[in-house]
């Protein structure tokens, strides 16, 4: 019997599986068991575990772009406060997520250096997030809360790269307090660059 699977639901389940297990610790058998797919259906739909991961990274990246856009949309706050609040909320959420970090960051750390396709996909997802955050950095520069002496793209890269670093530390230590302090200090110090 040939069962049709909702590809979007399978990818959402895949995001959770890769996010919690990593790439190396997740086999196709476990993916099939969790999604209800047979191996034949899985390989027919995705061709390989690597292609499945690439689909999951893309979907997760789109989900994050929507989330960040929503977080930065509050019209009643200054831009710098929106930026700081967005990062603090993401770090405060880590205990409820069992300190799983971020799928993009996790895959960058685990496999991007040895897999060019995954490296390109995670870099694209990261750059897409920078494109969402940078307009708010520009607005904070115009409002005088971030120094305009460094171009907005570089400042955005610094902020989000630092977030990935402190997120990795929070994940490793299972403590988000130092990470929140570091992000707060960084963002507040940008006024004096």
Domain count, the chain: 1
Domain annotation covers residue 129: yes
Stated pTM of the model = 0.91
Share of the chain above pLDDT 90, in %: 93
How far is residue 32's CA from residue 109's CA, in Å, rounded to a whole number?
Answer: 25
- Give the range of the structural domain holding residue 160, as residue numbers without chain letter: 57-192
**pLDDT for the residue numbered 3:** 55
Cα dihedral value 181, 126, 154, 67, nearest 10: -60
**pLDDT for the residue numbered 6:** 87
Domain annotation covers residue 49: no
Tens of pLDDT, residue by residue over 131-177, are 999 999 999 999 999 999 999 999 999 999 999 999 999 999 999 99
How far is residue 159's CA from residue 153's CA, in Å, rounded to a whole number?
Answer: 10
Sites in the chain below the pLDDT cut of 50 = 1-2
Domain annotation covers residue 48: no
């Amino acid at each position: 019997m040939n069962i049709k699977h909702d590809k979007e639901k399978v990818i959402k389940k895949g995001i959770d599986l890769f996010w919690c297990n990593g790439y190396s610790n997740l086999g196709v058998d476990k993916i099939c068991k969790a999604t209800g797919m047979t191996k034949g259906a899985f390989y027919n739909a995705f061709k390989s575990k690597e292609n499945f991961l690439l689909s999951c990274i893309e979907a997760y990246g789109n989900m994050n772009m929507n989330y960040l856009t929503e977080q930065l949309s509050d019209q009643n706050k200054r831009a710098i406060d929106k930026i700081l609040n967005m990062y603090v909320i993401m770090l405060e959420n880590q205990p409820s997520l069992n300190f799983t970090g971020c799928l993009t960051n996790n895959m960058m750390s685990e496999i991007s250096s040895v897999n060019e396709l995954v490296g390109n996909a995670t870099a694209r997802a990261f750059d897409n997030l920078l494109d969402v955050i940078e307009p708010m950095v520009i607005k904070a520069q115009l409002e005088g809360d971030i120094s305009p002496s460094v171009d907005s793209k570089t400042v955005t890269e610094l902020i989000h790269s630092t977030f990935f670093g402190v997120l990795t530390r929070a994940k490793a230590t299972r403590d988000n307090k130092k990470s929140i302090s570091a992000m707060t200090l960084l963002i507040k110090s940008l006024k004096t660059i």
